[in-house]
Amino acid sequence: MIVRKSKAELEAMREGGEITAACLKMLARNVRPGVTTADLDQLAEEFIYDHGGKPEFKGYQGFPASICASPNAMIVHGIPGSYRLKDGDVISLDVGVRYEGFVTDSATTVAVGEISQDADGLLRTTRKCLSAAAEQMRAGNHLGDIGHAIQSVAEARGYGVVRDLVSHGVGRKMHEDPQIPNYGEPGSGPRLQPGMVFAIEPMITLGSYEIDLDERDGWSIYTADRSLAAHYEHTVAVTENGPLIITGSGVPGA
Ligand code: MG
Ligand code: MG
């Protein structure tokens, strides 16, 4: 069942979304060669608590950290640790904040120093995927329109759209119904209605869309062919006045 949020609930989510957005902006400012992903995690955790939120990822199904940090061919769910960022990396940073009982979920992919043209093209296109998908968050549209928008933008460039991980409803729980594939048929699925809030998160690759779980930590997910991946995410509401990007203020590049 897709839980719709009231105007008051959306307002609470909007306030929480500002913390999430500001946290990602702060993290992006701190991305540079030599910084470890554990450093970024610590900065995020302090920032979230300082702003009255709670890091939703910490302890989620046993996840040990406050952010996910996933460099290069790692798509998502990277555990922050001793990995030291280096010039030419791209790093997906994913943050979930609980505030006033509601979760907001957002991610960005940041270039470390100078990156290749291929990498830059992938990041640009994945941002376009996210904005095209958010644009579909209108009452009367269908759920399938969201994935279709992502797939159209990515595949026009020959990129892979990860199929085994999805966008999702978000609210009192981080993962609510529906699960939203990042590909699909226009006009398919339920109609969107005001109050629906989804975390839309295209995961796009330079190669194949097949994925590979790192059995050593049980979390990190890579592209199976180890091609470069990018991941952006916003929490977006359907409102009577069109799409409302709840985690939109100040997230770099998204
Ligand atoms: Mg996320
Ligand atoms: Mg998410």
Q: What pLDDT score does 252 carry?
A: 40
> From the centroid of its chain, how far is CA 242?
21
Cα of 176 vs centre of ligand 1, distance in Å, is: 13
User: How far does residue 104's CA lie from ligand 2's centre (Å)?
Assistant: 9
pLDDT of residue 251: 42
Name, in order, each residue with C-beta under 8 angstroms of 62's C-beta and a sequence gap of 6 or more: none
**CA 89, CA 135: separation in Å to the nearest integer?**
29
Residues by chain with Cβ below 5 Å of ion ligand 2: 105, 199, 201
pLDDT of residue 207: 97
Residue 106 pairs in a beta bridge with 95
Residue 11's φ and ψ, nearest 5 degrees, are: -65, -40
pLDDT for the residue numbered 94: 98
In the reported structure, the alpha carbon of residue 12 is separated from the centroid of ligand 1 by a whole-number distance in angstroms of 18
Give the residue from 247, 228, 217 showing the smallest Cα distance to 53: 247
CA distance 109 to 68: 11
Look up tokens 């594939």; give the residue.
Answer: 181
Model confidence over 72-84: pLDDT tens digits? 999 999 999 999 9
Q: 201: CA distance to ligand 1 center in Å?
A: 7
Check residue 250 and give its pLDDT: 46
CATH 3.40.50.150 describes domain 7-245? no
Give me ligand 1 centre to Cα 96, in Å: 6
3 state DSSP class of 224 = coil
What's the CA-to-centroid distance between 199 and ligand 2, angstroms?
Answer: 5
User: Residue 77 CA: which ligand is closest?
Assistant: 1
Q: Could you say which residues of the chain have pLDDT below 50?
A: 250-254
Report pLDDT digits (tens) over 82-102: 999 999 999 999 999 999 999
**C-alpha 189 to ligand 2 mean position (Å):** 20
3-class DSSP state for residue 144? Answer: helix
Distance 198 CA to ligand 2 centre (A): 9
Burial (0-12, 13-18, 19+ Cβ within 10 Å), 60? middle
Q: Where are the domains of the chain?
A: 7-245
pLDDT, residue 202, reads 98
